[in-house]
Chain A
Amino acid sequence: MGVTLETRGLCKSFGALTVADHIDFRLEAGVRHALIGPNGAGKTTFVNMLTGRIAPSSGQVLLGGEDVTRLSQAARVRRGLGRTFQINTLFRGMSVLDNVALGVAEHRGVAGRPWWPASAYADVRREAMALLATFGLEEDAQPRVVDLPYGKQRLVEIAVALGLEPKVLLLDEPASGVPSLESERILLALERLPRDIAILIIEHDMDLVFRFAQRITVLVQGEVLCEGTPAEIAADPRVRQVYLGERRG
């Protein structure tokens, strides 16, 4: 099992405030890995450093063995790193299909073509539709994404990321803000994700985490508290202490 995503000694401080403190992290190929921790633990900052949205104060990020710490977001995406956002950042005024198609087109390298109409690129459209179909969203391809119910928007978020054919997928709270009836649908979608992609999921919904993850890392105040299988984490007294009042059996 190769290591597809790794950090070594990753640190980030904003002035006197340290949000990441020497984080060593390994994500292995094909593994479903969850990152949990109380609010303000620095999880989203960590993901932002993984994707290149913010630069670490020190430390390294390695993707597929290659040091990508200096590379831009777009460069990392081209090397197979995909992500979704905690708060929807879709192209609100554009149709659902276009949202996914933009990513597909980038991945296929046709997004910069200036001459033939976009609608003539039938293979891009087909692939985008196929992706939407895997989430049961074929009927919703035409409307603007902002007209969809929030739960479906979260699914579109994931579809967009998949359109980039990532080797590593970072899901930042995919079920956040979604009413519990719809989050089941998201969980099913997650379970159906291709097995060869390594997935890191940040979540607060412990139900989802324990059903989905094969390994769990616990982040508290910018530091890794512990890491292990779900059973190990559930049994760890330090974790129980951190999540006082949120015990899961």
Chain B
Amino acid sequence: MAPGRALRGTGVKSPVGYAADARLRWTEGLPWLAAVAAFFLLPDHLSFGARVLTYILFALSLDLILGYAGILTLGHSAFFGVGAYAAGILAAKLGLTDPVLLLAVAAGAAGVLGIATGAVILRTRGLAQLMLTLAIAAVCFEIANKATPLTGGADGLSGVRITPIFGLFRFDLFGRTAYLWCLLLLFGVWWLVRRLICSPFGATLTGIRENPDRMHAIGAPVYRRLVMVYTLSAMIAGVAGALLTQTNQFVGLNVLGFEPSGELMVMLILGGVGRLYGAFVGPLIYLTAQDVLAKQFPEYWYLGIGLMLVLVVLFARGGLLGIADGLVARVRRRAWA
């Protein structure tokens, strides 16, 4: 039996597991082609594009713990915000403006918060765990809100200057550098995450999500693995936050709190949880729709989002990619019939 035959009965070729084909499929090159094409074809929208790429990175971090490890959290914005503020404070208050350094520090700070909180909350489950994620995010929000000398409080942190990347590429007004910088980082993180998901560790995560009891019964160090993936996810979210700071050269208080966590979950559910590329599709569709619609009809926007969430949960749990899969499967069945 050679690895790589599609799992019968699901219509989905998943690269996870010991029987799977982990080689890159040609379809996986499409997002990158599209992103590069957008750079040339849509030069007026590159700032927006950078924002989409940042949120894709953020969504990827959430998918890692929510879709793959099965950790339910409402406070993921804490890591995003910590990364954003770390970069912002370093640049605006301490004059450290090298973008690579800022990303590294942001990842480190978010990672420290991730491992500290993860070690503690991953011992709990259910409502207690959910509450703790909310409470931790709320604490971060309060600190950012009140520590005005450091964070600018409710007005946000401005005066963030970023020096050229590698000394060569200046952040320009049109967002070209920002776009390519975000794309580069997204590519790097995506590659790492994909490797992780296809690896034995990734198979473990799926096992933990499906049946944690069983994982204990086969001798897996469940808690340790959850803390590890939680910390990694926090670091990626921190990098995303720092990218946002670099792109906007500003840190607003709205990177923290319930709203970004909630919005991110909507984006991920829209695209499809646990599918790696749901994190690509969701933010793109959501942010594009928001850009077009929300400005015209802001109240109806939230109504529409809420309605969409309700409908997705009731009728389309796999998100857009799930619907796409279903259509593909149906077309295939008809082709054989």
Closest residue of B by beta carbon distance from A146? B9
A98 to B7 Cα, complex, angstroms: 11
Residues on the A chain within 8 Å of B222, using CB: 74
Residue A34 at the B interface, CB < 8 A?
no
* A119-B220 contact given A105-B200, A110-B200, A112-B201, CB 8 Å threshold: no
Closest residue of A by beta carbon distance from B225? A112
- Chain A 72-89, CB-CB to B under 8 Å as 1, else 0, gives 111101100001010001
Q: Are A118 and B17 in contact (CB-based, < 8 A)?
A: yes
Instruction: Report which of B8, B200, B202, B211 forms a contact with A91, defined as CB distance below 8 A.
Output: B211
Min CB–CB distance A31 → chain B (angstroms): 23
Q: Are B216 and A72 in contact (CB-based, < 8 A)?
A: yes
Min CB–CB distance B225 → chain A (angstroms): 7
Residues on the B chain within 8 Å of A2, using CB: none
18 A-B residue pairings within 8 Å (CB atoms): A53-B216, A77-B219, A83-B217, A95-B19, A98-B203, A101-B19, A101-B203, A105-B18, A105-B203, A111-B200, A116-B195, A118-B17, A118-B22, A119-B3, A128-B18, A142-B1, A144-B9, A144-B10
* A118-B217 contact given A91-B211, A142-B8, CB 8 Å threshold: no
Residue B111 at the A interface, CB < 8 A?
no
Residue B198 at the A interface, CB < 8 A?
yes
Residue B33 at the A interface, CB < 8 A?
no
Residue A125 at the B interface, CB < 8 A?
yes
Q: Are B198 and A118 in contact (CB-based, < 8 A)?
A: yes
Residues on the A chain within 8 Å of B206, using CB: 91, 94
Q: Are A94 and B216 in contact (CB-based, < 8 A)?
A: no
The 3 closest A-B pairs by CB, nearest first: A77-B219, A117-B22, A101-B18
Closest residue of B by beta carbon distance from A79? B219
Residues on the B chain within 8 Å of A111, using CB: 200-201, 203-204, 220
Chain A interface residue number, banded: 35 or more
* A97-B210 contact given A74-B219, A74-B221, CB 8 Å threshold: no
Residues of A that sit less than 8 Å from B by CB:
51, 53, 72-75, 77-78, 83, 85, 89-95, 97-98, 101-103, 105-107, 110-121, 124-125, 128-129, 138, 141-144, 147, 160, 163-164
Residue B119 at the A interface, CB < 8 A?
no
Q: Are B207 and A91 in contact (CB-based, < 8 A)?
A: yes
Q: Other CB < 8 Å A-B pairs besides A97-B17, A163-B218, 5 of them?
A: A85-B217, A101-B18, A102-B203, A106-B220, A117-B195
Closest residue of B by beta carbon distance from A129? B1
Chief secondary structure at chain B's binding surface = loop
Min CB–CB distance B329 → chain A (angstroms): 15
A92 to B217 Cα, complex, angstroms: 15
A1 to B220 Cα, complex, angstroms: 31
A103 to B201 Cα, complex, angstroms: 12
Q: Are A118 and B213 in contact (CB-based, < 8 A)?
A: no
Residue B20 at the A interface, CB < 8 A?
yes
Residues 114 to 162 of chain B near chain A (Cβ within 8 Å): none
Closest residue of A by beta carbon distance from B219? A77
Residues of B that sit less than 8 Å from A by CB:
1, 3-5, 7-10, 15-22, 195-196, 198-204, 206-207, 210-211, 213-222, 225
Min CB–CB distance A26 → chain B (angstroms): 23
A102 to B216 Cα, complex, angstroms: 12
Residues on the A chain within 8 Å of B22, using CB: 117-120
Min CB–CB distance B65 → chain A (angstroms): 15
Closest residue of B by beta carbon distance from A81? B219
A91 to B196 Cα, complex, angstroms: 20
Q: Are B200 and A118 in contact (CB-based, < 8 A)?
A: yes
Residues on the B chain within 8 Å of A106, using CB: 218-220
Min CB–CB distance B197 → chain A (angstroms): 9
* A121-B8 contact given A77-B218, A93-B210, CB 8 Å threshold: no
Q: Are A98 and B201 in contact (CB-based, < 8 A)?
A: no
Min CB–CB distance B42 → chain A (angstroms): 35
Q: Are B199 and A113 in contact (CB-based, < 8 A)?
A: yes
Residues on the B chain within 8 Å of A83, using CB: 217
Residues on the B chain within 8 Å of A92, using CB: 210-211
Min CB–CB distance A24 → chain B (angstroms): 25
Q: Are A119 and B195 in contact (CB-based, < 8 A)?
A: no
Q: Are A115 and B220 in contact (CB-based, < 8 A)?
A: no
Q: Are A142 and B201 in contact (CB-based, < 8 A)?
A: no
Closest residue of A by beta carbon distance from B204? A111
Residues on the B chain within 8 Å of A93, using CB: 210
Closest residue of B by beta carbon distance from A160? B218
Q: Are A119 and B218 in contact (CB-based, < 8 A)?
A: no
Q: Are A121 and B18 in contact (CB-based, < 8 A)?
A: yes
A77 to B222 Cα, complex, angstroms: 13
Residues on the B chain within 8 Å of A144, using CB: 7-10
Min CB–CB distance A81 → chain B (angstroms): 9
Q: Are B198 and A117 in contact (CB-based, < 8 A)?
A: yes
Q: Are A98 and B18 in contact (CB-based, < 8 A)?
A: yes
Min CB–CB distance B172 → chain A (angstroms): 37
Instruction: Report which of B3, B17, B195, B207 forms a contact with A114, defined as CB distance below 8 A.
Output: B195
Min CB–CB distance A152 → chain B (angstroms): 15
Q: Are B7 and A95 in contact (CB-based, < 8 A)?
A: yes
Residues on the B chain within 8 Å of A95, using CB: 7, 17, 19
